[in-house]
Amino acid sequence: MQQELPLRGLGGHRLCFATNNRHKIEEIAQLVEASFEIVSLADIGCHDELPENQDTLEGNAFEKAEYVWTKFGVSCFADDTGLEVMALDGDPGVYTARYAGPQRNADDNMNLLLQNLSGKSDRTARFRTCIALILNGERHLFEGVVKGRIAHERHGAGGFGYDPVFVPEGHIRTFAEMTLEEKGAISHRGEAVRKLVAFLRG
């Protein structure tokens, strides 16, 4: 039985973020308003490994959101983020989280990225986030992009994923050297979430 949560108009309601990645949850919770609460998969009793079998970011985001909606009947949103490096023909792209293998290890991923960029002068890149929202069974998509470059070595201890090697355009610090607030103001995920929140405001 579907237990729909009325979200447009907000007013203290919950919206499931289809992830158990605490870093992502913290980052998005920082960006949304107190008028609604972001809950994780664990909060709705979902401990499944969500499917990601598509060849696009948009496809993966919708696949995850539709899995939660179909199985748990809860309005939710899911994201998929890709780092696209120009000198690597857009790689790692849809394979960003598992660039160095199925272990999804951030250190391994960054090591491989820096190795593959060794000797290349063009280090321009962009992060792209796609957020798929399923609200009352209706599908919506929101996208955010931030351009930047890949540093020659890691800097900073904050953030997650590739943050220690990504320097956003117009800045000299990596995402990992910024606070959550600073990163959220300019990041790909921040842009996509702001579009999501604007939609939920109606």
Which residues have a catalytic role annotated?
80
28 vs 81: CA distance, rounded Å: 13
4 vs 27: CA distance, rounded Å: 25
CB-based contact 8:36 (threshold 8 Å) = no
At position 166, the amino acid (one-letter code) is: F
1 vs 76: CA distance, rounded Å: 16
Kindly report whether the peptide bond that precedes residue 6 is cis, defined as omega within 30 degrees of 0: no
Task: List Cα–Cα distances, 148 to 86, 99, 163, 166, in angstroms.
Answer: 11, 19, 11, 7
